[in-house]
Amino acid sequence: MADEGRADWRVRLVQAVQTNCDIADARHATDLSLCTYLLQMREFFRWERELPYGAALPQSEVGNWIAAREARWQAHEGRAAHDYEVLPIPLPGGAQGDVPIRTIAAFDVEAANAALLPRGLLYGAGLVDGARPVFFLAELHALGAREGLRVQQAGHELARGLAAPPAALAAGAAGPIVLRRESMARQCWERYEAFRLRPLAESAFGAVVRAYDFERGFEQALPRWLDDHIEVALLHELGEHDIGQRLGAAWSAMRARLPTRRALLQAAAVRDQRADLARTLPALLERGASASLHAWFAAYDGLREAYFPALAEAYRAWRDGDGGQALRGAAARGEAHFEALVQRLLACHAAEGAQAGTALAALLDRADAVCA
């Protein structure tokens, strides 16, 4: 329905998206461990105050800000699930401050961006880990296409939540792949900040620091790292798209039966391995993209590493000068292993249906789920 109100639609839109971010955070911020929560809140504070990466954060001010933010979230705790603000979206024509608007539902991303992209804005909304809503509004950085998929790059972010995943793939056959440059840059800064506290020169991130010369000046080196990382993220999302097109709705139906958050994260790690072993690592090796390979392995941890520890050993062999032979072999073996695990999960779900949850979680926990 058209709303002929004369308020500045852009201000109202930023407020609506930020409110939806707050609603999502009110429900899901406590899913994080205390350490992860505090680290993310520090960077959230830096983003909101628009502070440079190297600026010292005043602890008392950060503490007061966290308390105020948590109080703001508490104000939304009583809202019903999916009770999100509608978005005021401009109709064609008119000046920015004097334009008729219509309202669009918070998850109607395609309709919102049809109006916002021509005005230099990019909107995103979706679910991460199968359940956590994520919203953002940003200045549009670039539009493009890759292998028939639309690619949208977000620049400076105007509204965001505590969770800010740097890349996402829409379920449609044409995408889009959405890349959040500011989120990627902030993740890089967090890793660099941790490295400076414990500078392990022989670590994968130590190799990244040398490859991009971060010590000379982080913000000066960041654009080159960001361009390379955009390409790595694109390769991963293309691999995800290949899997999605092949498996169709079967994977989503299986994932919906997983009984715990841990099982959801395990399933995501398995799928990430399948995508990267088929697409990302072979492409980077073929191109000789050594800096990007170091950066990829700097983030190879947690459940992904637990499922395939031998891949890190192959990376060390590459660093020692084997020309990538061990990595190519490991990627091929891992791709076959995780494809077989994917098929076992789908077969278990097909056989047991609504009762499959416990059996699926057991499959993901089995010793032979690990690629030896």
Q: What does the alpha-carbon distance between residue 134 and residue 107 come to, in Å, rounded to a whole number? A: 10
Q: What does the alpha-carbon distance between residue 345 and residue 363 come to, in Å, rounded to a whole number? A: 7
Cβ 254 vs Cβ 264: under 8 Å: no
Question: Residue 170's pLDDT is what?
Answer: 85
Angstrom distances, CA of residue 170 to CA of 99, 255, 310, 369: 30, 17, 32, 28
Kindly state the DSSP code that residue 91 receives in the 8-state scheme: P
From the list 229, 337, 328, the residue with the least C-alpha distance to 273 is: 337
Measured at the CA of 270, the angle between CA 245 and CA 332, to 5 degrees, comes to 80
Question: Residue 132's pLDDT is what?
Answer: 85
From the list 144, 142, 126, the residue with the least C-alpha distance to 134 is: 126
Cβ 136 vs Cβ 180: under 8 Å: yes
Residue 181: beta bridge partners?
none
| Structure-token pair, residue 246 | 């092949």
Angstrom distances, CA of residue 43 to CA of 40, 105, 124, 175, 230: 5, 29, 20, 29, 21
Cβ 314 vs Cβ 268: under 8 Å: no
From the list 337, 169, 305, the residue with the least C-alpha distance to 240 is: 169
Biggest CA–CA distance in the chain, Å, is 67
Question: Residue 353's pLDDT is what?
Answer: 84
Q: How many CB atoms lie within 10 A of CB 342?
A: 21
Kindly state the DSSP code that residue 127 receives in the 8-state scheme: E
Angstrom distances, CA of residue 90 to CA of 1, 84, 141, 148: 12, 19, 20, 29
Structural domain boundaries in the chain: 2-184, 247-369
Q: Going residue by residue through the chain, which has 372 residues, state the pLDDT in tens, using 9 for 90 and above.
A: 444 444 589 999 999 999 999 999 998 887 888 888 988 899 999 999 999 988 888 889 999 999 999 999 998 887 766 789 999 999 876 555 567 889 999 999 999 999 999 999 999 999 887 678 999 999 999 999 999 999 999 999 999 999 899 999 987 677 899 999 999 999 999 999 999 989 988 899 999 999 999 999 999 999 999 999 999 999 999 999 999 999 989 999 999 999 998 999 999 999 999 999 999 999 999 999 999 999 999 999 999 999 999 999 999 999 999 999 999 999 999 999 999 999 999 999 999 988 999 999 999 999 999 998
Question: Residue 93's pLDDT is what?
Answer: 61
Which pairs from 172-177 meet CB under 8 Å and 24+ separation?
A: 173/245, 174/148, 174/149, 174/150, 175/149, 175/150, 175/151, 175/241, 176/149, 176/150, 176/151, 176/152, 177/146, 177/149, 177/150, 177/151, 177/152, 177/234, 177/237, 177/238, 177/241
Q: Return the C-alpha torsion angle 50, 142, 173, 132, nearest 10.
A: 0
Cβ 162 vs Cβ 41: under 8 Å: yes
Q: How many CB atoms lie within 10 A of CB 354?
A: 8
Query: What is the CA 307 to chain-centroid distance, rounded?
Result: 20
Question: Residue 96's pLDDT is what?
Answer: 52
Q: What does the alpha-carbon distance between residue 304 and residue 243 come to, in Å, rounded to a whole number? A: 17
Q: Are strands 101-104 and 87-90 parallel, antiparallel or unpaired?
A: antiparallel
